[in-house]
Amino acid sequence: MKLRYFSVCGLILLAAVVAFFWYLPNLPARVPIHWGADGNINGWGSPWTLLIFPAIMGFNMALFAALPWLSPQRFSIASFQSTCFFIMLIITALMGYVFALVLYAALGNEMNITRAVLGGVSVLIIVLGNVLGKLRRNFFIGIRTPWTLASERVWYATHRLAGKLAVIAGVACLVITLARLPLWLWMTALLSGLLYPAIYSFIYYKQLERQGELRISP
């Protein structure tokens, strides 16, 4: 299972590197590397700057590979490491997608990169929402507030809620992107879906505390 996830991520990384060197002779001396909220280019750099995307993919893989070793014993990811590696895969896939967009633009093609990237992020949020409920308490992935880490019951309740809200927020963000609505609406939808679970974890923790039902997890 672990090998399968890393193999797919490795293929995405390899494809990005091969694509870069394949198209390198066709790239101009200065390529666009940053876009504003309006979709216009506001940053330029050397073609070699594009290798930052494969580098981030490699770092992402190395970080997730180290999580079993980095995790404290009582917060081991062993019981849900397939979920962790799936998250690694979707993050790597998103980086590969963004790299493809930037390379496409660097070759002189016109498109609204900002909207395309936000569409990809929206899909990532939807996919992520479907697996949040499978995460167990850990210090690296998920809604890691003092209250979720202190109580396993609060962790589970918060992540079940966060999963549902992430899907709703992701769908809303995707619709906003496709409909070309103002980007502040996209940010509002995203933050609403991400921030409320953290607030909920505090509220639920205090509720359990008042009711005397709180058990501090080891």
pLDDT digits (tens, 9 = 90+) for 111-127: 888 899 999 999 999 99
Q: Determine the Cα angle at 85 with ends 82 and 87, to 5°.
A: 115
Q: Are residues 97 and 131 in the same domain?
A: no
Q: Are residues 143 and 196 in the same domain?
A: yes
Nearest to 165 by CA among 205, 122, 196: 196
Distance between CA atoms of 20 and 12, rounded to whole angstroms?
A: 12
Distance between CA atoms of 202 and 197, rounded to whole angstroms?
A: 9
pLDDT level of residue 217 (50, 70, 90 thresholds): low
Q: Which domain holds residue 95?
A: 1-111
Does 153 or 32 have the greater pLDDT score? 153
C-alpha distance from residue 116 to each of 80, 98, 102 (Å): 32, 8, 10
The domain boundary residue, chosen from 75, 92, 111: 111
Residues 124-147 have a mean pLDDT of 92
pLDDT level of residue 215 (50, 70, 90 thresholds): low
Q: Are residues 56 and 131 in the same domain?
A: no
Distance between CA atoms of 49 and 46, rounded to whole angstroms?
A: 5
State the total domains in the chain: 2
Residue pair 6/85 in contact (Cβ under 8 Å)? The answer is: yes
Structure tokens at 72: 């404290």
Q: Are residues 68 and 139 in the same domain?
A: no
- Give the per-residue pLDDT at 77: 83
pLDDT tens digit sequence for 174-196: 999 999 898 899 999 999 888 99
- Give the per-residue pLDDT at 194: 85
Q: Are residues 151 and 186 in the same domain?
A: yes
Dihedral sign of CA atoms 74, 79, 85, 86 in order? negative
Average pLDDT, the chain: 90
Q: For residue 205, what is the enclosing H or E element?
A: helix 183-210
pLDDT level of residue 167 (50, 70, 90 thresholds): very high
Nearest to 50 by CA among 111, 104, 121: 104
- Give the per-residue pLDDT at 198: 93
- The answer to whether residue 79 scores a pLDDT higher than 70 is yes
